[in-house]
Amino acid sequence: MKEKVKIRPAVMSVTVILFVLMLAAILINGEAFYYVLNTVVMNTLMSSVGWAVSLVMLFMVILCIVIMVTPLGKIRLGGPNAKPKFSYMQWFGISLCTGIGAGVVFWGAAEPLLFAMEPSASTGLAAGSNGAVLWSMLHCFLQWGLTPYASCVIMGVILSYAILNMNAPFKASSCLVPIFGEKVLKSRWCDVFDAISAFALTGAVAGGLGYGAMQLSAAVKAFTGFEPSPTVYAIIIIVMFFCYNASAVSGLRNGITLLSNRNTQLFFILLLFVLLAGPTAYICNLFTESLGEYLSEFFSASLYTAPYVDSGMWPQNWDMYWWVDWMAYAPLLGLFMVRVAYGRTLREFVLIEWLFPALFGIIWFSVFGGTILHAQLFDGIDFYSVYLAEGAEALTLSMFNVLPLSTIAKVVMLIIITVSLVTQCDSMTVTLAGMCMEKSDENTEAPIPLKLFWGIVFAVIALVFTVLGGIGGVKTIKSFCGIPLTFICLFVTLGYLRYMAKRPRKTTGEYEYEDAVKDAPDNGQPEAPKSKLLGKLGW
């Protein structure tokens, strides 16, 4: 007889109650609600503690490197006998599409152009100048390269170790086990940690879904002539809801793995097409010099706070905003990473989940940014006016107008946008659903009603806030949640390092395995199925 699923109502209810209260506040006085949110988050919290967020994110980057080059990296998740269930290419595809994929398709052309035409006033750079272009690419690399994903990867390392090597349950609060021991699992602190993580992630995913609806509405206008409107937003979000819930219901090995791998292949195809069809020499030159600037100015740019009269809080509104945005994802995106990490070493984990996606983000921004900047600065095509008139969501599709086969390229881009949003939403749906069950583990598929519950929550929040014209409120909520999570994740990270410093080690310097897994056999789970056509390449 199948055991009845026990849910964790405290974790599920907090998110719903808080967002219902937000909706009520908007309906009563939306203008005052957004004013308070933006004033508190941007003008107070970000200006007061943004510098600390920058330091924490730099620390996370350094820690990723430390894990790769020290004996920590040799620890195998699941124990010495554990065998991987996903190939490197499958794993990379899942990592890319559930992480930065949805972001790079939205901002890949927009940020390079916007930063070059509107550099921070405190830099003294003229709009569109050589220095402004280089400064633009530096900050694009900073926001989509090594730094943003580091926080999620470090949380993924800690949660993977706790769940796979210490037999902790599949929930975000298991990262507290290395600090306080197993007794913490029975405390209310776990429910509080998981509830905060669920609320932050829901805001982050709903915000991303809202932005995706805006971008797809620009595509609807381009192909059909229908202007973006609340009705169009609603139809897009409802269609997305059915897509990502269908994928979530089908499970990790079938839905998410299949979609993310096909989407990654399209990513590479489109990237190569734009590189070859666009201003190839300019792109390569821009990439080379920008990479040099990124490497040479990495530390100073990472700690850029602009404490000047004319700064306009630029780093707080851009660099630091992205840091706390990623921090809102960190606990639960890190938890999702556990599901594909079994059998891999921590070194492999950091390589596939952090370094490769970061390199992909840098290359993507170089190719798309180089294409739109060349058109703006050399060809006299005023894409900046398109941004001012139609917003960032219209820029990427507009950029394809300067390339051959633009209609086909736009269709491929739309598929990538859609699948990226679907894979991100369904991965977070199954993760939250799994965390809301008692006695869940990384291989447990949550029941369909529980997955549908979170799928509906994501869609309803995105729909309500987008239709009411308040997606900016969800954006601010992400920042608001990400700020406290920054310091919570720092505390967890320091606690994990303290725990590992006390772990016994062999004479070779390698760590002894936890008693729970040192003699454990492989878990016996099947490997993820590979493509018949591209299986030999690891897909």
Contact 19, 204 (CB under 8 A): no
Contact 204, 329 (CB under 8 A): yes
Number of helices (H), then strands (E), belonging to the chain: the values are 22, 0
Contacts of 228 (CB under 8 A, 6+ apart): 214, 217, 218, 220, 221
Token digits of residue 248:
């979530």
Decide: helix, strand or coil at residue 526.
coil
Contact 67, 351 (CB under 8 A): no
Contact 119, 135 (CB under 8 A): yes
The count of other CB atoms within 10 Å of the CB of residue 263 is 21
In order along the chain (539 residues), what is the average pLDDT of each group of 10 residues?
A: 70 86 81 76 82 96 97 96 93 85 83 95 94 97 93 96 95 95 89 89 81 79 80 86 78 71 90 96 98 97 93 90 88 91 97 95 96 95 91 84 91 86 84 85 81 88 74 64 89 97 93 94 84 65
Q: What is the pLDDT of residues 74-97, one digit of tens each?
A: 999 999 999 999 999 999 988 888
Q: What is the pLDDT of residues 27-84, one digit of tens each?
A: 888 778 777 777 776 678 888 999 999 999 999 999 999 999 999 999 999 999 999 9
- The amino acid at residue 514 is E
The torsion angles phi and psi of 226, rounded to 5 degrees, stand at: -75, 125
pTM: 0.93
> What is the C-alpha separation between 521 and 71, in angstroms, rounded?
23
What pLDDT score does 26 carry?
Answer: 77
Strand pairing partners for 511? 505
The torsion angles phi and psi of 379, rounded to 5 degrees, stand at: -100, -5
> What is the C-alpha separation between 281 and 506, in angstroms, rounded?
52
- What DSSP string describes 142-192? HHHSHHHHHHHHHHHHHHHIIIIIS---SSGGGGGHHHH-GGGGGSHHHHH
The torsion angles phi and psi of 470, rounded to 5 degrees, stand at: -120, 30
> What is the C-alpha separation between 92 and 359, in angstroms, rounded?
12
- What DSSP string describes 187-224? SHHHHHHHHHHHHHHHHHHHHHHHHHHHHHHHHHHHHH
